[in-house]
Amino acid sequence: MPNIHKNNAPLNYAAGLDLGQYEEVLAVLGLKGDLKRWYRDQSYCIEIATINFSEKYLALPWTRDLNAVEDVLVEFFSTRTHITGKAIRELAEQRPGCLILCITDTHIQNLYQEWDDIKKASEAGNFVLFCIDQAYKDKHVEEALASLGRVYYINRLEDLVSRVVDVTGRAYCGESFISLQ
C-alpha cells in the first residue's frame, strides 16, 4: 500500500484527474511512457522494493529513493539466471497487495527449487510477468510464471517502459497516490 504524505502540494491538481486525463497531460508534456519521470511524479507516496537477480542477487528494501532503485536495476552480472524466491516472498509479505513486476527472458535455472516461495509471494501481492526475447523463451518457465498472474510480451525496450507505467497505473487505479491533505 502506498503511504500518503501531506507534503505533496505540487501534485494537488493531479488529484482531480482520472487516469486517462493524467496520461493525456503526461503526453502533452512529453512524459508519456517515461517511467522515471512518472515515478518522480508519484514519489511522494510510492515505495518500491527491488531485486536484481542472476547467480547472485541484489535486494533493496522498500524505499522512495529512485536513485538507489536504479543502481540496483542497472547492475549487470552476466551469468546464469537464478531467482531468489525467499527474498521476493519476504518483500511481498511486508506489503500485502503490492505489485510484483518480474522482467525476465524466462531462462531461470532454479525456478522449481524456488517455486513455493514465489507462489507465496504471488499470493501476498499481484504478480505481473514481462516476458522479453520471445523467440528465445523457455515455454515451461513462462507457463509456470503465467499461472501466477498476468503476462505481457515485450519486443522492444521502449515497449517495456510504457507497459510498466501502464500496468502500474491500472493496478492502483481508484487508489489515489496524491493527497489533498
End-to-end CA distance of the chain: 18
**Is residue 36 in some structural domain?**
no
Is 167 inside any structural domain? yes
Domain count, the chain: 1
Residue 119 and residue 145 in contact, taking contact as beta carbons nearer than 8 Å: no
Q: Per residue in 57-68, pLDDT tens?
A: 888 898 888 788
> Residue 92 falls within a domain, yes or no?
yes
CATH number where 132 lies: 3.40.50
Residue range 70-79, pLDDT digits in tens: 888 777 777 7
- In a domain, residue 43? The reply is no
| Nearest residue to 120 (alpha-carbon basis) of 161, 88, 157 | 88
Nearest Cα residue to 57 out of 31, 83, 95? 83
Q: Which amino acid is at 122?
A: S
Q: Are 107 and 138 in contact (CB under 8 A)?
A: yes
Give the pLDDT band of residue 4 (cuts 50, 70, 90).
Answer: very low
- Give the whole-angstrom CA distance, residue 35 versus residue 116: 31
pTM: 0.66
Question: pLDDT at residue 164 above 70?
Answer: yes
Q: Which domain holds residue 141?
A: 49-171
Is 12 inside a domain boundary?
A: no
